Amino acid sequence: MSDVQIKEQVQEVLDKLRPFLLRDGGDCELVDVEEGIVKLRLLGACGSCPSSTITLKAGIERALLEEVPGIVEVEQVF
């Protein structure tokens, strides 16, 4: 699978999760995907929320690992 296809699949998953983030005043932006590592920027309330690591790892990362082949980790970038 090409990097472009992986990024498209990651974006589709993020679009499904976005309403939950928006409801809490946050959002996320796909920065890049390199060697199975998704780099995300948390925006709005998510950027400063003390629970953002839990959101990132338990929510977003778990969904991406389940739905996008080849993803191994999600990293937050600032």
Give the pLDDT confidence score for residue 48 in this predicted structure.
Answer: 85
Please count the structural domains in the chain: 1
Q: What is the per-residue pLDDT across 19-77, written as a single tens digit (0 to 9) for each?
A: 999 998 999 999 999 999 999 999 999 888 888 888 888 899 999 999 999 999 999 99
- Which of 44, 40, 47, 36 has its CA nearest to residue 72? 36
Domain hosting 13: range is: 3-76
Report the CATH number that the domain containing residue 40 is assigned in CATH.
3.30.300.130
Q: Which pTM was predicted?
A: 0.91
Measured CA distances, 58 to 1, 4, 73, 75 (Å) = 25, 25, 11, 12
